[in-house]
Each structure stands twice: as structure tokens, then as C-alpha cells.
Amino acid sequence: MNLPAVWAIYVYEMKRFFRTLMESLLSPVISTSLYFVVFGAAIGSRIDEVEGVSYGAFIVPGLIMLSVMTQAISNASFGIYFPKFIGTIFELLSAPVNFLEIVLGYVGAAATKSLLIGIVILVTAGFFVDIQIMHPWAMLAFLLLTCISFSLFGFIIGIWAENFQQLQLIPLLVITPLIFLGGAFYSISMLPESWQTVALFNPVVYLVSGFRWSFFGMADVGVGWSLLAIAAFTGLCLGVVWWIFKTGYKIKS
Amino acid sequence: MTAIVDVMNMGKVYAGGHAALTDVSLQIEEGEIIALLGPNGAGKTTLISALCGIVTPSSGRATVGGHDVVAGFRKARAMIGLVPQEIALEPFEKVINTVRFSRGLFGKKRDEALIEKILRQLSLWDKRTARIRELSGGMKRRVLIAKALCHEPRVLFLDEPTAGVDVELRRDMWQVVEDLRKSGVTIILTTHYIEEAEAIADRIAVINKGRILLVEPKADLMARMGQKTLRIDLMAPLAAVPPALAAFDVTLSADGHALSYTYEAGGERTGITRLLQTLAAEGLALRDIQTTQSSLEEIFVGLIKEGAE
């Protein structure tokens, strides 16, 4: 294992993050604050409580998930797409590193960035509402797993994408709708019964539900299912990454 | 000497069915500069890419420093520095950071003294904190060379190092290559400028349509393949080539003042003695004699044509 190479990629990627620290952190913080104003204050005043939790606090886990998932995908996909786009990928391919080390470097950096953003949003939310975390370790584990699995997913998108439009396509067409319909801002039980069944096919429901459970001890689906869902998603992404590694898909002819 | 790069029957067929390399075998000795000379699309870059790990060869194998480039890729690639044809650099990064990154990627510990030495050697030290996008094209190419050298490779691949570079910078680059050779680095460069191969290479491999047509020391190649032309200026003009010279491949200039005779410089019999004797016997008075040797370019064009036939 060429660990210095993994470290070199990781540090290089993190430097980009810190070079644009304000942009990297400011936009999630501002959008989170906006969500609090719109959902928490405007709509929340008419909902007041969901299963004993104030609506403002209820949406915090969903908001964190929303940002962490989108940030993990965009950071990881851009991280590997950019060298492809400007041609510096030749250096990765001709260095004494294997694909696993490349993945570790890029995905590790993207996961770290999204984790930091998740924590910043949690702190920001603390200014608006009282937050209690019932199961802090579970919360951290869910957060970390989400960062890693969605960074892996982003990495795959970055390898697949051939232009900037494609880079945006999947996050825009698939991920954002899934997150919005995934109970980030409401409990699945608030939906009509038929839609509840449909919602159960949305993998994001399980992630948001599990994450919310670690905060408030209540969930739309059993926490075991949530763990299973995120493990399956991580496994699926790892499988695809392994396949890319084997075939050199889109990076090596 | 043992070959530091050994390519054995390598072939590469791209997904679309295009055969970029066909049965290429090539041995490169440690410390030499070898030029892969060929027209655009000849397979030069594919050959380099296959050795460096950017494309996977379809058949055959290759070793660098005795390590197979596929099975033993870590050890093989650790010995290789690659300077690609296209300038591919992150525009917003600082020169020194991108060089440090390359060294890290090769698993080497930070060595600021070495990086300083390399940057100074390439006249980049003053620009070390400049961002890449602020540099000129020639400077960017130097950054690519610095990145390729910073992990102390023993074999350096230069893919078209002077493509699109002005004449002055080209000579600069040749000087850089010469300095590198003195430090013991084996250099494989691709070029379609014959002038470049002629100026800096020890050996020349001519490649066309994915096949190596020949590999020879530059001097041998030029001596063996080189045709010479003997130009004889006459005191008095001739109206036509005298019948006595019909046996020779002689042409008369338009004004009738000069005869040209073409011969193989490396041939056993050049025919010069007989020609001069015949001229003397004909009573022709000579004003001047000069010979010119064909350049590598003419040799090269001849080879490519032969290959196409």
C-alpha cells in the first residue's frame, strides 16, 4: 500500500477545500439558515410539533442529510472529474499507485469535507433551535457512513461523466428529488397511506429516518432497516468502484 | 550494457478496432537518448502510454529496470518519469505545490532540497510561488518536466517535448535534455521533428503505422542510408550530358554549368573515381567540386514511403 500517495492526494484535495473555505462553508450555512426561515419559522409556526418534537428541531437531521449528501456527491465527483477534464489524470495513472489508493485519497477527502459541512450545519442549527442528541455515537456513525457512501457514489459519477452537464445530471435529476421526497422535512406518517408505501422504495427515507432516530429516538422505519440500507448502498458503490478498477472504465483504454 | 527498457512484441488494439501498435520490440540501453521518430498517429504516444500505465497493452509485454510494467507496475513506474505531450496542469495551483504533489504520489518523502535543485535546474525557482496559469507555455512545459523528475526517475519519457514551442525555447529544451543525460537519466523522446532527433538523440527508432521500421544509432543511420550528391561546376557550359557519361546517374543543370551525381555515401563503390577519370578523358575543365549529404529528413521520408508500399 502506497500510503504516502494516498496522503498526498488527500492533502492536495483538502487544500483545495481550505483555499475556498469561505465558499465551501458559507453556502451550506446560508442555505441552512434559509431553510430554517422558510420551513422552521414560516411553515413551522403552523405545524408546531411532529410526534412530540418541535418542527424546527425535527427538520435538523433532514437538513444535515440534505447538505451532506449533496456536498459529498459534488465534492467527490468534481474531485475526480477535474483531473479528467484538464488532463492531469495521466499523473495518477502513471504513478505507482493502484486504483484503491486513488479512491481512498479522493473519497477520503470528499467524505472529510462533507463531514465538516455536516458539523457546521449542526452548529448553525443550534443557533435556531434547541437540539438534543439521544444517541450521539449512532448519530456520528450514520453521518460518517453517509459521508463515505455518498462520496463513493460521487466518485462513480465523476468517473462516468464526460462533461459538466452530466456531472450535474444525476444529483439534479435523481438525488435532489429523492432527498426532498425522503422525509427530510416531514415524517412519512404524514403522507397518505398509498404514498407511504411508495416512499418505502426511496432509499433516502431509510437514511434520514435512521439519522433522525439518533437525535430523537423516533423513526419512520426500524433503525435496523436504516443500517441495512446504508450498508447495502455502501456495498453497492464499493462494488461499482471495484468494477471500474477491474475494467478501467472511462479512465484507461 | 543491459536494456533498461525492454519491449517485447507489444501490440495495442483500441476498443474501436484501431491497431495503434503491432508487434513492437525495442531495447533501450541505460543512459542513452533514443528518439521515436514518426508522423502524427504513428503510435509513438501509445507506446509510451503502454509503458507508463496509461493504456493497457493488448499483447506482448515490457519491462522497465527488469520489472514488468503490468505485473510489477509499482516498481516499474517508480523508475519512470513521464512528460506528456499536452500541457495538463491545474491552473490555480502553485508551481512548488504541484511538484511536491507529484513526489508524494510516487510515495517519496518530502525533500525540499531536491525540489529546489530541480526547479533551479529548470530555471523555475524564481517562479516557485507563481500560479500555473500565470506561466508561459514554455514555463508550463518545464513544470511538467520538474514534476516528472521530482521522484528521481531513471527513465524519462518526453512525449513531443517541443511541440508548439518556438525555436529559441526548443534549443533551451534540448539543453535541458542534454543536462539530464549527463546526470545519468535514460531519455526516450518522441518527436516528429527530424531536426530534433538529429540534434539530440543517440539512437533513432523510426515508427509508422504502429510498427517500428528500424532502430539504429543516428550516425550509422545517416551514414548507411544517406545519399550524397556530388556537384561539379564546369568552366565551360555544356549543351547536353556527354554520351561518355551516359553510364553514370548524372544530371546537367539548366544553365549547363554544373553536373550533379548522386551516390550512396556508405557504398563500397561510389563511382567517383571513374566519373572524374571519365570527365578528364572528355577534356572537361572543372571549376569546383562539392558534396552534400542528405538530411535525416530525406532518409525518414524515404523510409516512410517504403513502409507504405
Query: Does one domain contain both B122 and B92?
Result: yes
Query: Does one domain contain both B137 and B260?
Result: no
Residue A35 has pLDDT above 70, yes or no: yes
State whether B88 and A94 contact (CB < 8 Å): no
Residue A198 has pLDDT above 90, yes or no: no
Range of the domain at B283: 227-293
Query: Does one domain contain both B70 and B218?
Result: yes
Instruction: Give the closest residue to B277 by CA, choosing from B243, B239, B238, B244.
Output: B244
Q: What angle do CA B260, B263, B267 make, to 5 degrees?
A: 160
Query: Does one domain contain both B215 and B273?
Result: no
Place of cell 408546531: A48
In a domain, B301, yes or no: no
The radius of gyration of chain A from alpha carbons, rounded to an integer in Å, stands at 19
Query: Does one domain contain both B183 and B281?
Result: no
- CATH number of the domain bearing residue B90: 3.40.50.300
Alpha helix stretches (DSSP H) within chain B: 44-52, 73-78, 95-105, 112-121, 137-149, 167-182, 194-200, 218-225, 272-281, 296-308
Query: Does one domain contain both B32 and B124?
Result: yes
- CATH number of the domain bearing residue B256: 3.30.70
Query: Does one domain contain both B276 and B128?
Result: no
Residue B222 DSSP SS3:
helix
The residue among A94, A244, A247 with the most chain B CBs within 10 A of its CB, best to mutate, is: A94
Residue B167 has pLDDT above 80, yes or no: no
Query: Does one domain contain both B65 and B22?
Result: yes
Query: Does one domain contain both B78 and B195?
Result: yes
Rounded to the nearest 10 degrees, the angle between the axes of helix B95-105 and helix B137-149 is: 30
Task: Find the Cα–Cα–Cα–Cα dihedral B193, B195, B198, B203, rounded to 10°.
Answer: 0
Q: What is the mean pLDDT of residues B273-288?
A: 88
In a domain, B304, yes or no: no
Q: Which residues of B touch A106 (CB under 8 A)?
A: none
pLDDT band at A1 (very low <50, low <70, confident <90, very high): confident
Query: Does one domain contain both B233 and B219?
Result: no
Q: Which residues of B touch A7 (CB under 8 A)?
A: 104
pLDDT band at A36 (very low <50, low <70, confident <90, very high): confident
Beta bridge partners of B27: B6
Query: For the segment A208-253, what is each residue's pLDDT rounded down to a tens digit?
Result: 999 999 999 888 888 889 989 889 999 999 999 989 888 878 777 7
Which residue among A19, A88, A96 sits closest to B77, beta carbon to beta carbon? Answer: A96
In a domain, B219, yes or no: yes
Counted domains in chain B: 2
Query: For the segment B193-249, what is each residue's pLDDT rounded down to a tens digit?
Result: 877 888 889 999 989 889 998 898 988 877 766 678 889 999 888 888 888 888 888
Helix or strand run (H / E) with residue A231: helix A223-247
